[in-house]
Amino acid sequence: MAIDIYDFTGMTSAIHESLSAVLSPAATTIVEMTIIGIVFILFYALVGLFLVYAERKVCAFIQCRLGPRRVGPRGIFQTIADFIKLLMKELLMTKNADKFLFNLAPFIVIIASFMAIGAMPFAKGLHALDFDIGILYVLAVSGIGVIGILLAGWSSNNKYSLIGALRSGAQIVSYELSVGMALMTIIIFAGSMQLSEIVASQANGWWLFKGHIPAIIAFVIFMIASTAETNRGPFDLAEAESELVAGFHTEYSGIKFAFFFLAEYMNMFVVAAFGATVFLGAWMPFHISEMIPYAEYFNMGMDFIPGFIWFFGKTGMLILLMMWFKWTFPRLRIDQLLTLEWKYLLPINLVNIVITAFFVLTGFHF
Amino acid sequence: MESEGLILFFIIGAVLVGAAVAVSSFAPPTSTNPQKAETYECGIPTEGTSWLQFNVGYYLFAILFLIFDVETVFLFPWAVVMREVGMVAFVEILIFLTILGLGLIYAWKKQALKWD
C-alpha cells in the first residue's frame, strides 16, 4: 500500500539499533528517553505558543477585529512576548493560602496534560505510549487535571476561587461520563482499546463514516462533552470572569497563572487529537469508495499526503470547531449545564450504546 | 517503551513546570507590601476564611458520578469483547443498562438532578 511511504517505524528502529550498537542496553534506554523528552518538550511549547496565537486570531476574526499584529510579521511572536512578560512577573501568594497545595496545583494540571499527549499517534511509527488500554489511559490522566483545579481553588482561600473550583469539579466529573461512553461506541466497533489498533481498523474508512448514525451521535456528544471537560467555550463557568473574577486561578500570578492558561490549551489539543484519532482515523488518509469511477486515482493522490499532515489537519479542524463554539455561544448557567449532561447526553448515550451493540451484532455497518 | 514511559512523561512535566517556576522566583524584580498578600475580594477587607461548608448540590452530583463511573468501568471490558461474544453479551448489557436506567429515572423523579 502507498501509505507505507510515510512509515516512521523504520526510522525509529534504525535509531534504536545504531544506539544499541555502541551503548549498553541501559544507556540506550536513557539516551532514547532523553531524546523523546526533549522532542516532546519542544513540541509541547510549540503547540502551546501556536494555539494561543490561533485562538486570539480566530477570536479577532469572529469579532471583526485585527487581533495581535505588532510583534513580528502578523503578530506571530506575540505569544512569545507574552510568555517572557509572564516569566518576569513577580509570583504572589496570599497570606492565608495553603502554601504547599497552592504551589502543587500548576504541577498537577501540566503533568496531566503532558502525560495525555504522550499517548497520541502522530504518524505511523510515531507513537510514544501505545498501551493496550490506550483509551482508558487517556481518560484517566486527563481526569487527573480536575484535581489540580480543585486544589488551586481550595488552597487559594478565596471565595471566588472556591466557587469556581467546585463548579469545575461538578462539571468535569459529569461530562467525563459522556466522553467515556461516546468513546465506548467506537470501542464496540473496533473491538480494542489500543489506539494503534483503532487507527489500523480505520484503514478502509473512518469510524465516523463507517459507523453509521451511532458513530455520528457519539461524535457530536464527544465534542460537546470534551469542550465542557476542558473548561472552555460556553462551559467556562469555572472562571466566569463576569461573576467570579477569574474563578479558580484568581490568586495566581505570573508564570503559575500562565501554566493554568497553557494547560487549558493543551487539554484542548489533547481532546481534539483524541477525537481525530478515534473518530477520524488519526493519520489515515481520506478514501472514497471503490465503486465511484476513478476512485483509485483519487485515493492514490490522498496517500501521497504525509500521515502527520492528515493528523494535524484533522486536529486543527476540531480545534477550530471548539474555538468557534467559544466565541459564538453564550455561557451556560450551572443548572443548565448539569441538565444538559444528566437529562440529555447521558440517556442518549446509554441508548446509543445499545444501538451500536445491535448494529455490530447484525453486521449492519461497513 | 511501556510503563517506564509513564514515569518519563511524569518527570518531563514536573521538570517543565519546576524550571519555569524556579526561573520566575528569582528573575523578576520584587517589592514587599502587606497589601499584596491580602486575598482579592472586591477591594474590601476579607471576612473570615473560605474553608467552609458549601452547597450540598455539588456533593449529590459527585455521588451520582461515582455510580455511573463504576458502571462505565464495567462497560469498557464488555465493549472490547462485544463483537466476539455476540448475542449473549447483547442481552446481558440490555439487562444491565435497564437496571441502571431505572436508577437514573429514580434519581430524576426524586429531584436529585435538579439544581437549587
| Tens-digit pLDDT profile for residues A121-177 | 887 777 777 788 888 888 888 888 888 888 888 888 888 888 888 888 888 888 888
Single out the residue of A212, A218, A207 nearest to residue A183, CA to CA.
Answer: A218
Cell of A238: 469555572
What integer is the mean pLDDT of A87-113? 85
Q: What's the confidence (pLDDT) of residue A366?
A: 59
Q: Is the pLDDT of residue A297 over 80?
A: no
**Pick from A88, A180, A256: CB nearest B72:** A180
The Cβ-side half-sphere exposure at B36, using a 13 Å CA radius, reads 10
Residue A5 reports pLDDT greater than 60: no
Residue B67 has pLDDT above 80, yes or no: yes
Please write the tens of the pLDDT for every residue from A248-276.
888 888 888 888 888 888 889 999 998 88
Question: Of B75, B72, B96, nearest to A173 (Cα)?
Answer: B72
A90 close contact with B: CB closer than 8 A: yes
A143 interfacial to chain B (CB closer than 8 Å): no
Alpha carbon A183 to chain centroid, angstroms:
14
pLDDT at residue B1 above 60? no
Question: Using CB atoms and an 8 Å cut-off, which of residues 217-256 of chain A contact chain B?
Answer: 245, 250-251, 254-256
C-alpha dihedral, A262 to A264 to A270 to A273, nearest 10°: -100
Question: What is the number of alpha carbons within 13 Å of residue A293 lying toward its C-beta?
Answer: 0
- Under an 8 A CB cutoff, do A95 and B101 touch? no
A94/B27 CB distance under 8 A: no
What is chain A's Cα-based Rg? 22
Give pLDDT, residue A1. Answer: 41
What spatial distance separates the first Cα and last Cα of chain A, rounded to whole Å?
20
Residue of B nearest to A95 (CA): B37
Chain A residue whose CA is closest to B28: A88
Express as a percent the part of chain B with pLDDT over 70: 97
Bigger pLDDT: A293 or A47?
Answer: A47
Contact with chain B for residue A173, Cβ under 8 A: yes
pLDDT at residue A3 above 60? no
- The chain-wide mean pLDDT, for chain A, equals 83
Task: Tell me which residue in B14, B75, B83 faces A184 most closely, judged by beta carbons.
Answer: B75
Asked whether residue A337 carries a pLDDT value surpassing 70, the answer given is: yes
Q: Give the model's confidence band at A2: pLDDT under 50 very low, under 70 low, under 90 confident, else very high.
A: very low
* pLDDT for A47 beyond 50: yes
Q: Residue ranges per domain, chain A? A: 10-88, 97-362
DSSP annotation of A63 reads: T
pLDDT tens track for A203-228? 777 878 777 788 889 999 999 998 88
Answer yes or no: pTM beyond 0.80.
yes
**Model ipTM value:** 0.84
Q: Give the nearest partner residue to B25 out of A91, A111, A161, using CB atoms.
A: A91
CA distance A84 to A254: 10
Q: Is A110 on the interface with B (CB under 8 A)?
A: yes
The three cell numbers of residue B85 are: 461474544
CA distance A256 to A262: 10
CA–CA dist A297, B72 (Å, integer): 43
Contact B82 A177 (CB under 8 A): no
The pLDDT assigned to B28 comes to 80
Residues of chain A with pLDDT > 70, as a percent, come to: 97
Per-residue cell: A346: 447521558
What does the pLDDT read at residue A4?
Answer: 56
Q: Judge whether A168 and A337 are in contact, CB under 8 Å.
A: no
Residue A108's closest chain B neighbor by CA?
B14
- C-alpha distances (whole Å) from B114 to each of A73, A339, A343, B56, B60 are 52, 8, 10, 12, 10
CA-to-CA separations, A133 to A120, A139, A140, A198, A339, in angstroms, rounded: 13, 10, 10, 11, 31
* Per-residue pLDDT, B35: 78
